[in-house]
Amino acid sequence: MSERLITEIQSFQPYTAEESAAKEELLTLLQVHGTRLLDRDCPAGHITCSGFILSPDLRETLMAYHLIYQSVGWTGGHADGEDDLLGVALREAREETSVTQICPQSRRILSIDILPVPPHEKHGKPVAPHLHYNVTYGLIAPKQQKIADKPDENRNVMWLDTQDIAKHCTELQMLPIYEKLVCRMRKIDAEKAEIPMKMLAPLLAWYPLHKRDLPWRKDGEPYHVWVSEIMLQQTRVEAVKGYYKRFLDALPDVQALAECPEDRLLKLWEGLGYYNRVRNMQKAAVQIMTEHSGQFPQDYDSIRKLSGIGDYTAGAVSSICFGLPEPAVDGNVLRVMARLQEDYRNILSPQCKAGITAQLRKVYPHADCGMLTQALMELGAMVCVPNGAPHCGACPLAGICMARQQGSTDMLPVREKKINRRTEERTVFVLQCGGRVAIRRRKGKGLLASLWELPNTEGFLEVQEAVQFCEKWGVKPQQAEKTVERRHVFTHITWELRGVFLQCAAESPEFVWASPQELEETYSLPTAFRCVLT
C-alpha cells in the first residue's frame, strides 16, 4: 500500500454527501486492491487524474474535444501505476494541450468523482465499460503560450469562457462538475487574497520580540540602511557585520563616499565581490551631493533614480527610513509569500514579483511600514528559511499558512532552473621578487573590470610551460616553489585555477610589485585571485 496515496485521498475535504461517499468508496477499494487500483487492468475500476485548467484571472478554461467521449472536456488520464496524482494531472495537461507554463493552484484535491466510462475503442482495440475514480486538481496556465492537439486523443484544444462551457460540452453529466470546479478555484483564490491582511497583526507582534540585534537597525539613518542593503546582496548577515563597520568607520557619510578615491573604495569593498555595486554607490553619492544638496532624498521615485538602486533597495530605504508604504520584495519575502499563499508560480519571474509587490502595497498603509519590511525580511531569514525545512513550529503565521495546511512547504517556492555555469581553466602566476608580488590592472570592461589581478592566462600550464610563458615578461623566472589548485564561482562562470608560485630575478615594468602589507592595505585584489595566495 502507498502511504502517499492514502494520505492524498484522506486529505480531500468533501463538499457534498455524494463526494463523501466517493471518497469512502475509493479508500475502501484501496484497502482491498492496494496500488493495483492505479493500473488500468484492475477489475474494480481504476484511478484517473484530471487537471481543470483556468487562466490566471479564472475567467477562461483550457479544454479539448476528446475523441473517445466526442465532447469538449477537461484534461486528464490514467495514473498508470504512479501514486503522485498531482504529478499525473500536470503531465496529462501538458501532453494534451502542449502548454509548458502550467502550475497547480493548490495541492488540495478539488473533487473526487466516480465516472462511468462507456464502451469504446482505443488504438483499434475495444475497451469494455468500466469506472474511473477520478481525482481532480485545479491548474493555472497563462494564455500567452502555444497550444496544440494530441492527435490520437483529441482535437480543437481551445480557451473557453467559463460561462460558455455548456455551449461546447455535450456530456451533460459533466456540467455540474465543471461548475463546482470553477467555484472552488475562485474560492481558493479569494482565500489567498486574504492572507496579506491576515498576516499583519501576528507578524508585527512577533517581530519586536524576536528580531536580531543588527548594527544597521540602530538608528534608521538612510545612509546606514542603504550601505547595509547593498552589502547584504549575495552575502550572509554575519559576514557583512565586519565589512559594514569597516566601511562606515572609513566613510561615515554620503560626502565621504562621494569623495573617496577609487582604489581606497575598492579596498574597503574587498571580499564582498560584485565591485560594480560599490562603484554605483559612489555614483549615487555624487548624485545626492550634486542633485539633492547632500541630503538623502526622502521619496521613493527620487531614491529609485539613484545609481545602482533597484526596486528592492528603494523600497527598503523608503519604508524603513521614511515610513513610506513601499514594499521591499527580495528572495526572503517572495519565499514567505509563496508559502503563505501556496503560490506555485516561478518566484524569479517578473510577473510573480510584480504581483506580490502589488499585494503588499495594498496592506502597507495599514501597518508600521518600516517594521513590516523588516519583519518580513526577518521571518524569511530566520524561520521560513531558504535551505532546508521551514521552522513552522516557531512561525507566527503557521495558523494561516496555506502551504503548511496542504503539506506543500517542501514544494515551495518554485524557482526556474539555474543557468548552467560554463567552466574556464586558468593558470595564475604568483611572481615573487625581493618579497614583492606582481599584480596588474584588468581591462576596463567585462568581468572584474579595472580591478587588480595576479597575472594569468587561459588553460592549465605545467610548471615548465609556466616558466617559459613568464619569460616573455622579462621577469627572469628562476624556479617554481609550488603549485596550488583552487576554484572560484561567479554567477555565470566557474574558474578552475592552477596557481604557480615562481621566484623571479627581475621586477618587470609590466607589473606593479606589491609588498604583502600593500596587498593587505592598499590594493584591492578580488577573492578570485586572493584565494590562490592562501
Domain boundary among 411, 446, 467: 411
**Residue 500 near residue 480 (C-beta atoms within 8 A):** yes
Q: Which of 229, 270, 326, 342 is catalytic?
A: 229
Q: In sequence order, what are the beta bridge partners of 257?
A: none
- CA gyration radius, the chain: 31
Give the per-residue pLDDT at 417. 66
Whether residue 178 is contained in a domain is answered as no
Q: Which pTM was predicted?
A: 0.82
Whether residue 467 is contained in a domain is answered as yes
Cell 502550475, residue? 103
Question: Domain with 317 in it: what CATH number?
Answer: 1.10.340.30
Q: Which residues lie below 8 Å from residue 271, measured CB to CB, with a gap of 6+?
A: 243, 527
Together in a domain, 516 and 376: no
Together in a domain, 290 and 166: no
Per-residue cell: 148: 496544440
Distance CA 27, CA 19 (A): 12
Measured CA distances, 274 to 216, 231, 262, 305 (Å): 21, 10, 15, 20
H helix runs in 327-462, sequence order:
331-340, 350-363, 369-382, 402-406
Whether residue 181 is contained in a domain is answered as no
Domain boundary among 170, 192, 220: 170
Together in a domain, 228 and 292: yes
DSSP string, 444-505: SSSTTTT-EE--EEES---HHHHHHHHHTTT--EEEEEEEEEEEEE-SSEEEEEEEEEEEES
Domain boundary among 124, 149, 170: 170
Distance CA 189, CA 193 (A): 6
Tens of each residue's pLDDT in the chain, 534 residues: 578 899 999 999 999 999 999 999 999 999 999 889 999 888 888 999 999 999 999 999 999 998 878 899 999 999 999 999 999 999 999 999 999 999 999 999 999 999 988 776 666 677 778 899 999 999 999 999 999 988 888 889 999 999 999 999 999 999 999 999 999 999 999 999 999 999 999 999 999 999 999 999 989 999 999 999 999 988 889 999 999 999 999 999 999 999 999 999 999 998 888 899 999 999 999 999 999 999 999 999 999 999 999 999 999 999 999 999 999 999 999 999 999 999 999 999 999 999 999 999 999 999 999 999 999 999 999 999 988 899 999 999 999 999 999 999 999 999 876 667 899 999 999 999 999 999 999 988 888 988 999 999 999 999 999 999 999 999 999 888 899 999 998 878 999 999 999 999 999 999 999 999 999 888 989 989 999 998
Cell 621566484, residue? 503
Together in a domain, 364 and 404: yes
Q: Which of 284, 282, 215 is nearest to 245 (CA)?
A: 215
Together in a domain, 227 and 366: yes
Known catalytic residue: 229? yes
Give the per-residue pLDDT at 418. 61
Q: Which residues lie below 8 Å from residue 369, measured CB to CB, with a gap of 6+?
A: 319, 320, 323, 324, 325, 326
Together in a domain, 407 and 507: no
**Residue 117 near residue 135 (C-beta atoms within 8 A):** no
Give the per-residue pLDDT at 42. 86
Whether residue 199 is contained in a domain is answered as no
Whether residue 40 is contained in a domain is answered as yes
Per-residue cell: 71: 465532447
Q: Report, in this order, helix, strand and coil percent for the chain, each rounded to 5.
A: 45, 20, 35
Together in a domain, 57 and 96: yes
Question: Domain with 511 in it: what CATH number?
Answer: 3.90.79.10
Together in a domain, 287 and 404: yes
Together in a domain, 459 and 385: no
Whether residue 455 is contained in a domain is answered as yes
Whether residue 285 is contained in a domain is answered as yes
Report the b/e string of 253-267 with b at 16+ CB within 10 A.
Answer: ebeebbebeeeebbb
Together in a domain, 365 and 434: no
Together in a domain, 119 and 251: no
Together in a domain, 407 and 433: no
Q: What is the crossing angle of helices 275-291 and 222-232, to 10°?
A: 160
Query: What is the total count of domains within the chain?
Result: 3
Distance CA 358, CA 55 (A): 19
Residue ranges making up the domain that contains 331? 207-411
322 Rama sector, left if φ>0, alpha if ψ -120 to 50, beta otherwise:
alpha
Whether residue 506 is contained in a domain is answered as yes
186, 190, 191, 196 alpha-carbon torsion, rounded to 10°: 150
**Residue 274 near residue 250 (C-beta atoms within 8 A):** no
